[in-house]
Amino acid sequence: MVSREGASTLAYQTLISFLDGALLNWPRETWGVPRRWAEIATMADAATYPRVAASGPHGAQLEWDDVFYGGLDLLLRGLEDRLARGEIVPPAGTSRTE
């Protein structure tokens, strides 16, 4: 089992890793995800991979901001839930209300 401090460090590093690419404007230049999802939708055998086949048309509509802000929201809500359960601790010198 990971300690609360270890889990807190993991949460922090996850945020940094998630944000680095976005802050460096990495994906906007090479954003090819919609095209790849469209390809997957036509290639996936719906009988064998029904969820992949069903997800393809939705993925083909994704824009970078959808992925970034949606992912950030999921990540932050998960961190808030873990903080509320006491599984992680806020950084020293801060409080949950700051």
Q: Looking up tokens 């359960």, which residue turns up? A: 85
> Which of 17-21, 35-39, 68-72, 88-92 is predicted with the least confidence, judged by mean pLDDT?
17-21
Over 41-96, what HEC string results? HHHCCCCCCHHHHHHHHHHCCCCHHHHHHHHHHHHHHHHHHHHHCCCCCCCCCCCC
Query: Token pair 């090819």 is at which residue?
Result: 32
User: Residue 30 sits in which domain range?
Assistant: 4-84
Does the pTM of the predicted model rise above 0.75? no
Any domain includes 24: yes
Q: Report the range of poorest mean pLDDT among 3-17, 39-53, 69-83.
A: 3-17
Is position 78 within any domain?
yes
Please state the domain count of the chain: 1
What are the residues whose beta carbons fall under 8 Å from the beta carbon of 27, sequence distance 6 or more? 21, 64, 67
In a domain, 94, yes or no: no
Q: Which two tokens stand for residue 26?
A: 């990495």
User: Mean pLDDT across the chain, nearest whole number?
Assistant: 75
Any domain includes 15: yes
C-alpha dihedral (74, 77, 78, 82), degrees to nearest 10: 170
17-35, pLDDT tens digit by residue? 677 766 666 555 556 778 8
